[in-house]
Amino acid sequence: MTVTTVRLQPEVESGIEAMAVQLHRSKSWLINQALREFLLRQERQHQRWQETLQAIDSVAQGRVVSGEAVHEWLRSWGSESELPPPTAGQ
């Protein structure tokens, strides 16, 4: 494990200290946990953005599912003749 020095604003430091006491954990554990969650959130946000760009490209190329096809599929849910999910071009 490596050591990194971080300068914290006093109110952040006091908040970390209070939370560490409350959770019965060290400040290092708390900071590592917060950074791990932040990095995961950033990764997910980047992935969603890439998926959004792909979706925009699909629409621009005309690869879309009609609203009517989606509604027909949804109306079939729970029935004996439930339809498979619609695909582009239907």
Q: How confident is the model at residue 90 (pLDDT cuts 50, 70, 90)?
A: low
Full-model pTM: 0.70
The residues spanned by each domain of the chain are 10-63
Q: Are 64 and 88 spatial neighbours (Cβ–Cβ below 8 Å)?
A: yes
- CB pairs under 8 A, 24+ apart, for 30-37? 31/6
**Tens of pLDDT along 8-55?**
999 999 999 999 999 999 999 999 999 999 999 999 999 999 999 999
Nearest Cα to 87, choosing from 55, 73, 50, 51?
73
> What residue spans of the chain are helical by DSSP H?
10-23, 27-60, 67-76
Predicted local confidence at residue 24, as pLDDT = 98
